[in-house]
Amino acid sequence: MSDKTHKTGKDQTKPAAEILGPGAVSMVLNVNGVSQSIDVEPRTTLAEALRTSLNLTGTKVACNHGACSACTVWLDDLPVAACSVLAIEVTSQKITTIEGLSETDHLHPVQKAFIEHDAVQCGFCTPGIVMSCAALLAHNPHPDAAEIEVAISGHLCRCGTYPHVIQAMLSLANKQEGNHE
């Protein structure tokens, strides 16, 4: 846990005090391993930029205030709420969205487990929860129920999928144990 939480990838050099905006600014976002240029205003949140400029609509916005985590993406492998991050501030970081979690036609183990345990109802909160769960497994392959609970504690799901989400995650934790992965 500890070595994962230090800030990585931040620009260590000191750029000149350039002033950008308020109009659209050209920038490059590194999303799912691909650098993509977009033109957005400084006020554009990362969630908005992903959804509108890059058409990556798997990242959902439900509260737009950091309070539900539906918009969870990874910034350099750390889950963050993309609605409370500006696109312009993450141009030098690696962004991973639900679309980049697994390769085409291959589901991530978390996604498979969610399907198997019916941890999905309306599905609107689901991509965000999947991102949090996958981030947890990436550094802790055998989480216990308490660790799972902390990892998903920022999520709101009005359909009530939490019990099945926890079951799905526990099944993965146990399965991996058996396989000595």
Partner 1 sequence: MNDNTPKHHERLSAGMAHLGLDQVTREISDSEPPALAPNADLNFIGRNTPRWDAVGKVTGAACYTVDVQLPGMLFAAVMRSPLPHARIRSLDLAPARNFLGVRAVVTVIEALSDGHAPAVRYVGQPIAAVAAETLAAAEAAIKLIKVEFDPLPFAIDIESAMRSDASTIYRQDEAAHIPVAGFPFVADLPLEGNVRGPSKREQGNVNDGFSSADFIVEETFFTQVQTHCCMEPHAIVADWREEGLDVWMSTQFTAGVRAQLAATFQLPLSRVRVRAQAIGGGFGSKSQLGQYGKIAVTLSRLSRAPVRLVYRRDEEQMDSGNRPSSQQHLRIGARRDGKLTAISLHAWGSAGIAQGAGVGDIAMALYACPNLKSLQFDVFTNTSPSTAMRGPGNTQGAFALEQSIDALAEKLSFDPLVLREVIDLSPVRREERRLGALKIGWAHRKTPGFDSGSIKHGLGMAQSLWMSNVQINSACEVRLWRDGKVEVLSSVQDIGTGIGTLLQQVVAEELGLQPDAIGVRIGDTEFPSGPPSYGSRTSASITPPARSAAWQIKNALLQSVASHWNLDPQQLKIQDGWVQSADTPPRRIPWKEAVRTLRTDRISAVASRSDDYAGFHSRNGDSAIALNDLGGVQFVAVTVDTQTGVIHIERVVAVHDCGRPINPLQIESQIHGGILMGISYALLEERIIDPHTGCMMNPNFIDYKFAGPSGLPKIDVMVLENYQGLSATDAYGVGEPANIATAAAIANAVYNAIGIRINTLPMTPARVLQALRDANKGPVDGIF
Partner 2 sequence: MESFEWQQATSFENAATSATHTTTEAMLGTQGKPVASQAMLIKAGGVDLLDLMKEGLVSPRRLIDINHLSEFQSISEDADGGFTIGALATLAQIAAHSGVGKYFPALVQTVTAAASPQIRNRATLGGNLLQRPRCWYLRSPAHHCLRKGGEHCFAYAGDNRYHAVFANHDGCAIVHPSTPATALLAFQAQIKCVSAQGAQRVIPIDDFFMLPSRDPRHENILQAGELITAVKLPAPHPAHRSAYLQLSEKAAFDWPLAAVAAVFVIDHNDICQQARIVLGSVSPTPRRAQEAENILTGAKIDPDNARTAAEAAITTATPLSGNAYKLPLLSALISRTILKAASCESPHERLL
Ligand X SMILES: Cc1cc2nc3c(=O)[nH]c(=O)nc-3n(C[C@H](O)[C@H](O)[C@H](O)COP(=O)(O)OP(=O)(O)OC[C@H]3O[C@@H](n4cnc5c(N)ncnc54)[C@H](O)[C@@H]3O)c2cc1C
Of 90, 49, 92, 53, nearest to 71 (Cα)? 49
For ligand X, which stretch binds (CB under 6 A), given 28-36, 61-69, 114-122, 155-163? 61-69
Question: Which residues have C-beta within 8 Å of that of residue 32, sequence separation ≥ 6?
Answer: 56, 95, 96, 97, 99, 100
Q: Is residue 67 near ligand X by the rule CB under 6 A?
A: yes
The interface mask with partner 1, positions 97-116, x = CB under 8 A, is: xxx-xx----x--xx--xxx
Nearer to ligand X, 63 or 170 (CB): 63
Burial class (CB in 10 A: 0-12, 13-18, 19+), 11: exposed
Q: Which of 40, 45, 47, 60 binds partner 1 (CB under 8 A)?
A: 60
Nearer to ligand X, 83 or 172 (CB): 83
- In the complex, the residues that contact partner 2 under the rule CB under 8 A are 1-2, 4-7, 10-12, 14-23, 25, 41-43, 45, 64-67, 69, 72, 75, 78-81, 84-86, 88-89, 92, 132, 149-151, 153-155
Q: Is residue 42 near ligand X by the rule CB under 6 A?
A: no
Q: Which helix (H) or strand (E) holds 80?
A: strand 78-81
Q: Is residue 67 near ligand FES by the rule CB under 6 A?
A: yes
Q: Is residue 78 near partner 1 by the rule CB under 8 A?
A: no
> How many Å apart are CA 167 and CA 145, to the nearest integer?
9
Q: Is residue 159 near ligand FES by the rule CB under 6 A?
A: yes
Give the number of other Cβ atoms within 10 Å of residue 106's Cβ.
Answer: 9
Q: Which of 9, 53, 66, 156 binds ligand X (CB under 6 A)?
A: 66
> How many Å apart are CA 180 and CA 157, to the nearest integer?
32
Q: Angle at CA 128, nearest 5°, toward 161 and 143?
A: 70
- What are the tokens at 63? 């509260």
* Contacted entry of partner 1, ligand FES, partner 2, none for residue 130, CB cut-off 5 to 8 Å set by kind: partner 1
Q: Which residues bind ligand X (CB under 6 A)?
A: 65-67
